[in-house]
Amino acid sequence: MPRMLDLIRNSQVPFNLMHSAAHGSLAVPPGEMIEILVYLAIHHKLFGEQARMTLAGWDEKASLAAAADPNTSAEVLGYFISGENLRPVLLPALVENPSVSEQALYEIAVSGSQSTVDALLTSARVMSSPHLLQALRSNAKLRPNDLAAIGERLAAFGVRPFAEPQAPGSNASAVEASEVNAPEVDAPEVDAPDEAVESTIAQYLLANAVELEAEKDKPFQPIGIAHELASVEAQAEVGPPAAAATGSASADAAAKSATAATGKSGAAAAAGIHAKKQTPVAGEGRRDSTLQKIAKLNITGRIALAMRGSKEDRSILIRDSTKLVAVAVLDSPKVSESEVEGFASQKNLLDSVLRAISLKRKFAKNYTIMRNLVYNPRTPVDTSLPLVKGLLIQDLKNLVDNKEVSDTIRKTAVRMYKQRMEKKN
C-alpha cells in the first residue's frame, strides 16, 4: 500500500484529508507526518501556510527525533536547518546530524542569530571544522572573546584567519542603479602618505614572517601571463640587469621599529622593506618593462611593490601565484575600490585572493565588488553563497541565467528570486 506522502505528492488525496494533513492530524507515524507537513509547507500553495504554522508548534520530542536521525529525508532536514524555519531547541541535534550538509551549516554560521551563534560554539562538529569556523568568525553577532577563541582554534589547525568582514549586502537595497554599473577603467588610485605605506609594509611582513620564510625562494610566476614572462626572461638574457636599491627615511624608520619589536624575525622581515623599485642603470639604452622589473624582485620586493607601486604594478602582482604577494595588493593603502571591482571579476586569480576580497571590511560595503564576486565562477562557493542574499532583484535574475557559476549558487539565486518576487507581488 502506498504511503500517504506518496498519495499526496500524486494529488490522490481528497480535500478533507489534505486539510487534516496540514493540521498534522493524520493517523500516520510521527516521522511520516513531519515529512508530509514539510512537503506541504514547501510545495503546496493552498495548505502550505497552515503546514508551516503546524510545524512551528510541532511536538518537541518528535521534532528532536527527526532532527537527530541521519535517515530523516534531506527535505525535512533542509527545512529544519533553514534560517527562516530554525527552532533553537532543534539546532544542537541538527548540527551534529551527519546528514545535514556543511553548506547548510555554513549559511546559518554566517548570518545566524545570537542564540544560533552560541549553539554553534558548543558544537563538536563546528569546532573541528576550519571551514565552519571561518564562516562563524564572519558573523557580526560574534562576541570579542568568542572571536579570539575561534582565532586560536583556527591557528591550531594551521589556518590564518582573515580580517573580520562587515555583513555583505547590508546596504544593497539602498543602492541606486547608477551605483551598480561597471567601474571606470581609469579611476585614480588612492593618494596615501608615504609613512602610511611604509608602515603597512612593515606590519604585513612581520605578521607573515613565518610564511614569508617558507616562501622566500619562490620566483615570480604570474597566473595567465606565463608566455609574457617567458618573453621577458629571454630579453633579460641579452643584457644582465643592474639595479640600485634606494632607501627612504620612512622605510628606515619602519624597519627599525620592526626590528625592535620582534628581534631576529622582525629584522629578517623588515629587510624586505628596502626592496625598492628597481631601475636600469643609466646608459643601457632601454627601460625595463613592468614585467621585467617585477621578475627581478624576490618575494619581499614584490610585496613592497604591491603596496608601494603603481596601478599597473598592482594589476600584475594581483595575479602572482604566491598568495602572500597577491593578497598584499589588497592591503595596499593605495589600492582603490574601482581596482578591486575589476579584481573581483577576474578569472585568473587565486581562490584565496577572491576570498580575501570578500572578507575585508572596506570592500564588503561595496555592492559592485560583492556582486562581481558572486558572478565570478572562480570565486569559491563558500564565499559566494552568503553574498547572494545581498543582491538586488535584477542581479538575482541575471545570476539565475549565468551558466558559468555553480549549480549551488544558481539554485540559491532561483529560490531567493522567487521569494523576492512573491513579496513584491
Confidence of residue 226 (pLDDT cuts 50, 70, 90): low
Same domain? For 52 and 93 the reply is yes
Closest CA to 164 of 201, 139, 133: 139
Mean pLDDT throughout 201-224? 86
Looking at the structure, tell me whether residues 96 and 228 fall in a common domain. no
Is residue 101 situated within a structural domain?
A: yes
Contact 184, 381 (CB under 8 A): no
Out of 107-121, 208-222, 259-273, 309-323, which region has the weakest mean confidence (pLDDT)? 259-273
Q: Which of 314, 74, 337, 76 is nearest to 188 (CA)?
A: 337
Query: Using an 8 Å Cβ cutoff, are 183 and 340 in contact?
Result: no
- Rounded CA gap, 22 and 42, in Å? 12
What type of residue is 243?
A
- Asked which of 131, 151, 174 is the last residue of a domain, the reply is 174
Q: Specify if 425 maps to a domain.
A: no
Residue at 103 is within a domain:
yes
Distance CA 201, CA 251 (A): 9
- Of the candidate ranges 16-25, 99-108, 254-263, 336-345, the one whose mean pLDDT is the lowest: 254-263
Looking at the chain, the whole-number percentage of residues with pLDDT higher than 70 is 76
* Three-state secondary structure call for residue 12: coil
Do 143 and 191 sit in the same domain of this protein? no
Helix axes 299-308, 323-331, angle to 10 degrees: 20
C-alpha closest to that of 168 among 416, 307, 371: 371
Q: How far is CA 321 from CA 131, 138, 199, 210, 324, in A?
A: 22, 26, 25, 18, 9
Cell (9 digits) for 219: 620566483
CA angle 349, 355, 357 (to 5 degrees): 85
Question: What is the overall mean pLDDT for the chain?
Answer: 78
Beta-bridged to residue 222, according to DSSP, are 320
Q: Please, are residues 187 and 339 in contact by the beta-carbon 8 Å criterion?
A: yes
Domain-embedded: residue 335:
yes
Q: Are residues 190 and 65 in the same domain?
A: no
Residue 216 contacts residue 366 (beta carbons within 8 Å): no
- Report the number of distinct structural domains present in the chain: 2
In a domain, 254, yes or no: yes
- Closest CA relative to residue 78, chosen from 67, 64, 89, 93: 67
Q: Would you tell me how many other CB atoms lie within 10 Å of the CB of residue 9?
A: 14
Which three-class secondary structure state does DSSP give residue 179? Answer: helix
pLDDT at 109 over 70: yes
Same domain, 100 and 200: no
Type of residue at 249: A
Identify whether residues 153 and 214 lie together within a single domain: no
In a domain, 416, yes or no: no
- The answer to whether the pTM exceeds 0.75 is no
234 and 162 in a common domain: no
Backbone angles phi, psi at 244, to 5 degrees: -115, 125
- 206 shares its domain with 160: no
CB 386 within 8 A of CB 107: yes
Which domain-ending residue is among 174, 201, 221? 174
12 within 8 A of 36, measured Cβ to Cβ: no
Is residue 424 one of the residues assigned to a domain? no
Please tell me whether residues 21 and 79 are part of one structural domain. yes
Is position 413 within any domain?
no
291 — pLDDT class (breaks 50, 70, 90): confident
CB 323 within 8 A of CB 350: yes
SS3 label, residue 102:
helix
Q: Are residues 375 and 320 located together in one domain of the fold?
A: yes
Among 140, 174, 208, which residue terminates a domain? 174
- What are the cell numbers at 352? 584565496
In a shared domain, residues 243 and 358: yes
Same domain (yes/no): 226, 368: yes
Query: For residues 311 and 362, which has the higher predicted lDDT (pLDDT)?
Result: 311
> Is pLDDT at 220 greater than 70 in this prediction?
yes
- Domain, as residue range, for 398: 185-408
| 20 neighbors 37 (Cβ within 8 angstroms) | no
